[in-house]
Structure 1
Amino acid sequence: MSEPTANLYYDGSCPMCSAEMKHLAKHKTDQLCLLDIHQAELPPGKTTEDLLTVLHYKAPDGRWLTGLDATLAVWSNTLLGKALTVLRWPVIKPVADSAYNLWARKRYARLYGKAHD
């Protein structure tokens, strides 16, 4: 019996996102599906704009993680992921999350020409 699958929804039109996914594809397990938002079927309750604003990860148990939490979830089983756990330390987490959210808003505005709340 195979393990449940996790899905990571990413923006395939974003050069930086695509580069990260290409690198991640070399290190991921078969239980992680990398899904380009522009080519994948949208999950129930999510819009294209929802998925484009920040990275979305659906865990095998159905939980959704977004932003930096999604990034850390998919990299957690790699050597890089072990080093990234520092980003969840209580004193660093708010700064890391703020930096990611700022980057995500600017990336979205640059690629799609509009701001998103």
Structure 2
Amino acid sequence: MSNQPSTASHSVEVFYDCECPLCLREIKLLKWLDRKDRIQFTDIASADFNAAEYEKTPAQFTDEIHGRLPDGQWIIGVEVFRQLYSAVGFGLLVWPTRLPGISHALNFGYQVFAKNRLRLTGRCTAETCEVNKSALR
């Protein structure tokens, strides 16, 4: 594992959770579409993954999908998906997602999914989904 930016041969590095069934389905599709090896896939659920090596917390990686461009710039949320699908040759399908109304709707939808990802994929535990009632007071 390295916190160095992905090599120049990759257009984007994606940090994904292989323990999330929906996420894994998306990653499998992207791996299949990535015939030119443009995407570097990094599994945040891997035993040897260490968020601190990237100067981030585990919660940052699990709360929202993260990506990194070859120059080291971090991207999060819907922009990661734009970069991933552009990397596999779907750039013409990606550009409309940047239009103001569509972009706002996608960002909102992704935020709802990200906040509820564990619940939606049946992975809630007392540690991951319980609201800290003392924090609400």
TM-score bin (small chain): 0.7 to 0.9
Secondary structure of 2:101's aligned partner = coil
Taking the TM superposition and a 5 Å limit, the aligned residue runs for 1:1-117 are 3-5=8-10, 6-28=12-34, 29-39=36-46, 40-42=49-51, 43-110=53-120, 111=123, 112-114=128-130
Larger Rg: 2
Percentage of identical aligned residues:
24
1:81 to partner: Cα distance: 4.4
* 8 Å contact kept, 1:53–1:108: no
Unaligned runs of 5+ in 1: none
In the alignment, structure 2 segments of 5+ residues that lack a partner are: 1-6, 132-137
Instruction: State the Cα deviation string for residues 20-60 of structure 1 (Å, max 9, x = none).
Output: 10010012232421111011343421111100111100100
Q: Is contact 1:86-1:92 (8 Å) kept?
A: yes
CA shift, 1:114, in A, is 4.2
CA RMSD of aligned residues (A): 2.1
Per-residue deviation, 1:98: 0.7
CA deviations on 1:52-77 (whole Å, 9 max, x unpaired) are: 11110010011111000011111113
Question: What is the total number of aligned residue pairs between the two structures?
Answer: 114
